Chain A
Amino acid sequence: MTAHVMKFTLKIWRQSGPNERGRFVTYEAQDVSPGMSFLEMLDGVNQRLLGTGEEPVAFEQDCREGICGSCSLVINGIPHGPDQGITTCQLYMRRFSDGAHITIEPWRAKAFPILKDLVVDRSALDRIMQAGGYVSVNTGGAVDGNVLLIGKDQAETAMDAASCIGCGACVAACKNASAMLFVAAKVSHLSTLPQGRPERARRVTAMLEAMDREGFGSCGNQYECEAVCPKNISTRFIAVLNREYLRAGIVESGRPSEPESPHAESS
């Protein structure tokens, strides 16, 4: 309800295509109110660019309430900006002081090629999921939901891990561009629950192999991922992941020399 209007100088990464050279371009954001979201501020910049016939800045967004995982901006060097536990779309301009200079970049990682401006291709995360991020059950014929008793703590732990929105901020924050926190979240979610147990060994192996294949780096234990995760997913799940991987090598037959394909039809 404060009527005061703010002004910002934005340094935004512009890149017309995956194989083009990118560069920073400076724009002024005017008439910004403290109640505007960061993305609404960018909407305003784009509307003005359209007025001058210039192509607007491409960036991803959809739900604008912090759950779809589309928005993905590095703001002043930090994925999702200065506040912890939120996505870019949940950041409001009252967080910045009037007249500030703000740098806006895309996620930067080898496995996330830039498509245009601030938009990157995150399909590598989908391919990791396709390698084993599921429980292989058919539709129909499931037993009654209460047949499997799952303790409250166990369910809550699984939920902590399962809240991952797949935005990729963990990768963008990591100097090795590792996707360990992402993989750890999925592996921990399913290995914590009895439904995920039968496939736990081949799941963790297949997902980690897919992670390597996609060009993500390995974990350097710096915990930058946890610091920027909009869902506050803890690095202790990386410990769970490492344990699961170790266990897969020791306990399960067929590992590590000949990993069984997790996708073969059971025959």
Chain B
Amino acid sequence: MTRLDSKIPSGPLESKWDRHRFSEKLVSPTNKRKLTIIVVGTGLAGASAASTLGQLGYHVECFCFHDSARRAHSIAAQGGINAAKNYQDDGDSVGRLFYDTIKGGDFRSREANVYRLAQVSTQIIDQCVALGIPFAREYGGQLANRSFGGVQVSRTFYCRGQTGQQLLLGAYSALCWQIERGQVTMHPRTELLDLILVDGQARGIVARDLVTGRISAHTAHAVVLATGGYSNVYYLSTNASGCNVTATYRAWKHGAAFANPCFTQIHPTAIPPGGAHQAKLTLMSESLRNDGRLWVPRVPSDQRSPGDIPAADRDYFLERRYPRFGNLAPRDIASRAVKVACDEGHGVGPGGQGVYLDFSDVIEQQGLEVVRERYGNLFDMYHRITGEDAYQVPMRIYPAPHYTMGGLWVDYNLMSTIPGLFVIGEANFADHGANRLGASSLMQGLADGYFILPYTIGHYLATARLLPLLDDHAEAREATRLVATRINRLLAVKGRRTAAMFHRELGALLWNHCGMSRHEGGLTSALRSIPKLREEFWRDVMVPGAGDAFNQELEYAGRVADYLEFAELLCHDALHRQESCGAHFREEYQTEDGEPRRDDAHFAYVAAWEYRDRAEPVLHKEPLAFEFVPPTMRSYQ
């Protein structure tokens, strides 16, 4: 039976983390050497955690499925990383970053966690500078900042449009140092396929070597999952193709509660899908909305080319609906407005899935060169993908799944409901509530990995009773056997349809019924369709080749199999949450003018789901108390 104890320290918000750190037990340097920690994933959270734990003296076994730790998907983050440095002297503070994040998350996150995140944000920047990350600078040599959506201060640090890349390469270089020192053993091209529990504690993983296909058990004193989010459950998303839910989903099946899976962020500005061949959606930076204006033709199915449609026949729908924020409305609001426009038949481009993002006004007012300087690389990228010149004709954009706020439930120490299983970065549910603000995911990944987990895991290791364990322990052998059996089952189906076909079908189903807007009928029908699709998968999937060899199709089929189970959990959560908040929009719960209606009286809690074998998941509630910021309705009108 799952028990949710968030372990939030009592007392004033400002000193919770300091007092908690002091009360935590430490592991002595000699004892650290005797302890092994497994870290799965090498994105910002995983690489920063593995390197810091290695530096502290633990032995770390680090795993990633890429050929190199440097390729994890954090690398693709464009915009920047927030920190409450107040370098611009524009009134920023830890308190303000805390408040913006709580409000941006639509009051569905924990105050204590978010406050701690805002506190350590300043240390992250210092650490990254020390590692040699080439942040943008002013002429005088000081660090530069830019503004980002949903806030009124300038607190975002950046490296051109490649901030994620530079932060990840920094964490990766720290990891390289610890690998060279022998503190971290790196296992690239190795994928977690299951968790090993001994006496109810997480004590290891079963992993498959993706080159040889060899399945082996790895045991340790604690396990850290830094395995990212699950946007790819929708098939088409802005995530890299390898991103998957397998690690967190397997942990869920072993008893780790999964929190708020229905909080999935849909980013408003991606290039629309172009056809059935499409493998991923490309994000166009949020910064474009600073100068671009979103519009659709006023008359549905207007076939005129955009230049021939006079101003009177255009609907600048964000400016009309949200005059105060206009084109810079937050992500969840903007995405939904685009969807409404398209659903009402105003969409443009193939299948009517797109709206114009038009730069002609800014080009006319400030000149082509200004626009080229500001957004040239994005216009080039758009041109390469669509073949269209956005200086001449407006861009077409459409929302795309981008980030998942939901994840494994963790307490204040970032430990899941399985003792010894820690979860960091996008893989946990902790800090973003029902909607994440821009430039906050990099902040959270590094906060968890550099500054929070390395402390809290020490207390666990110092206080838990941990028996010595070998890789051939009975539980490890049994877990390995089960993984091998599952792989053989996949190979034995020898059906007629490819894993991609099932994935595409699942994605379409979820996008239609559990995407940007949801309603009871759609969710119940999805819950009826998913098990059928899953049965078909296990009856008719085609996986060629062998298990004991390099086999990309086998890797992919295993991930799709987990998505086919996880999708049900996602829909269960969306169905149960009978309110609209943040990225979760239930059509039944909206105001007359189509704005979301949040229900704090009944839903101000974290929904943590417990796995039950062959039965519906069981809901546990962690009530969210707002001691310091009273919840208000978000309004952008």
Interface, chain A (partner B; CB < 8 A) = 1, 17, 33-37, 39-41, 43-44, 47, 50-51, 53-56, 58, 60-65, 67-70, 86, 90, 92, 94, 115-116, 119, 121-123, 125-126, 129-131, 133-140, 142-146, 148-152, 154-155, 158-159, 162-163, 165-166, 189-190, 193, 195-196, 262-263, 265
Tell me if B623 counts as interface (CB < 8 A to partner A).
no
6 smallest beta-carbon distances between A and B, as pairs? A149-B141, A134-B173, A142-B130, A158-B134, A142-B126, A145-B129
A1-B350, A126-B68, A139-B454 in contact; A162/B176 too (CB < 8 A)? no
- The closest CB in chain A to the CB of B141 belongs to A149
Additional pairs, 7, CB under 8 Å, beyond known A67-B76, A195-B129:
A35-B385, A62-B240, A123-B68, A135-B132, A140-B127, A142-B129, A265-B181
B111 to chain A, nearest CB (A): 25
Inter-subunit contact B166/A162 (CB<8 Å): yes
Tell me if B87 counts as interface (CB < 8 A to partner A).
yes
Inter-subunit contact A134/B134 (CB<8 Å): no
Which residues from 35 to 52 on chain B have a C-beta closer than 8 Å to any C-beta of chain A? Answer: 48, 51-52
**How far is A189 from B160 in the complex, measured between Cα atoms in Å?**
15
Inter-subunit contact B211/A115 (CB<8 Å): yes
Which of chain A's residues have a CB closer than 8 A to the CB of B141?
149-152
A151 to chain B, nearest CB (A): 5
Inter-subunit contact A62/B71 (CB<8 Å): yes
Inter-subunit contact B143/A146 (CB<8 Å): yes
Inter-subunit contact B542/A50 (CB<8 Å): yes
Inter-subunit contact A70/B211 (CB<8 Å): no
Comparing B273-281, B319-327, B329-337, the segment that makes contact with chain A is B273-281
**How far is A54 from B125 in the complex, measured between Cα atoms in Å?**
51
The total number of A-B Cβ pairs within 8 Å is: 214
Across the interface, A63 reaches (CB within 8 A) one of B73, B123, B169, namely B73
Across the interface, A130 reaches (CB within 8 A) one of B123, B180, B500, namely B180
Inter-subunit contact B69/A190 (CB<8 Å): no
**How far is A159 from B498 in the complex, measured between Cα atoms in Å?**
42
Interface residues on chain B, size class = 35 or more
Tell me if B621 counts as interface (CB < 8 A to partner A).
no
A75 to chain B, nearest CB (A): 15
Q: List 28 A-B contacts (CB under 8 A).
A: A33-B274, A35-B275, A40-B277, A54-B544, A55-B553, A60-B67, A65-B280, A68-B66, A68-B240, A115-B550, A123-B188, A126-B68, A126-B176, A126-B188, A135-B132, A137-B131, A138-B55, A140-B123, A142-B127, A145-B126, A145-B135, A145-B143, A155-B134, A162-B134, A165-B165, A166-B70, A196-B132, A263-B181
Interface, chain B (partner A; CB < 8 A) = 48, 51-52, 55, 66-71, 73, 75-76, 85, 87, 123, 125-132, 134-143, 159-160, 162, 164-166, 169, 172-174, 176-177, 179-181, 186, 188, 211, 240-242, 274-275, 277-280, 282-283, 349-350, 381, 384-387, 450-451, 454, 496, 498, 500, 542, 544-545, 549-550, 552-553
- The closest CB in chain A to the CB of B164 belongs to A67
Across the interface, A139 reaches (CB within 8 A) one of B134, B159, B451, B544, namely B451
Inter-subunit contact A64/B275 (CB<8 Å): no
Across the interface, B126 reaches (CB within 8 A) one of A47, A65, A143, A190, namely A143
Inter-subunit contact A64/B279 (CB<8 Å): yes
Inter-subunit contact A58/B552 (CB<8 Å): yes
Most buried by A among B132, B169, B176: B132
A50-B542, A165-B165 in contact; A134/B177 too (CB < 8 A)? yes
Most buried by A among B48, B134, B279: B134
**How far is A24 from B241 in the complex, measured between Cα atoms in Å?**
27
Which of chain B's residues have a CB closer than 8 A to the CB of A152?
137-139, 141
Which of chain B's residues have a CB closer than 8 A to the CB of A166?
68, 70-71
- The closest CB in chain B to the CB of A155 belongs to B137
- The closest CB in chain B to the CB of A206 belongs to B180
Which of chain A's residues have a CB closer than 8 A to the CB of B498?
47, 50-51
A63-B76, A64-B279, A150-B141 in contact; A134/B176 too (CB < 8 A)? yes
**How far is A1 from B211 in the complex, measured between Cα atoms in Å?**
40
Which of chain B's residues have a CB closer than 8 A to the CB of A122?
67-68
- The closest CB in chain A to the CB of B279 belongs to A40
Which of chain B's residues have a CB closer than 8 A to the CB of A196?
132
Inter-subunit contact B173/A133 (CB<8 Å): yes
**How far is A44 from B127 in the complex, measured between Cα atoms in Å?**
45
Across the interface, A34 reaches (CB within 8 A) one of B55, B160, B242, B387, namely B387
Which of chain B's residues have a CB closer than 8 A to the CB of A165?
165
B86 to chain A, nearest CB (A): 11
Which of chain B's residues have a CB closer than 8 A to the CB of A149?
140-142
**How far is A52 from B95 in the complex, measured between Cα atoms in Å?**
61
Inter-subunit contact B139/A151 (CB<8 Å): yes
- The closest CB in chain A to the CB of B552 belongs to A58
**How far is A51 from B186 in the complex, measured between Cα atoms in Å?**
37
Inter-subunit contact B132/A195 (CB<8 Å): yes
Inter-subunit contact B68/A37 (CB<8 Å): no
Which of chain A's residues have a CB closer than 8 A to the CB of B496?
51
**How far is A44 from B165 in the complex, measured between Cα atoms in Å?**
30
**How far is A90 from B384 in the complex, measured between Cα atoms in Å?**
8
Which of chain A's residues have a CB closer than 8 A to the CB of B550?
17, 58, 115-116, 119
A149-B142, A150-B137 in contact; A67/B129 too (CB < 8 A)? no
- The closest CB in chain A to the CB of B135 belongs to A155
Across the interface, A55 reaches (CB within 8 A) one of B66, B278, B545, namely B545
Which of chain B's residues have a CB closer than 8 A to the CB of A115?
211, 550
Which of chain A's residues have a CB closer than 8 A to the CB of B75?
63, 67-68
A178 to chain B, nearest CB (A): 19
**How far is A90 from B271 in the complex, measured between Cα atoms in Å?**
14
Which of chain B's residues have a CB closer than 8 A to the CB of A58?
550, 552
Inter-subunit contact A43/B553 (CB<8 Å): no
**How far is A145 from B145 in the complex, measured between Cα atoms in Å?**
13
- The closest CB in chain A to the CB of B542 belongs to A50
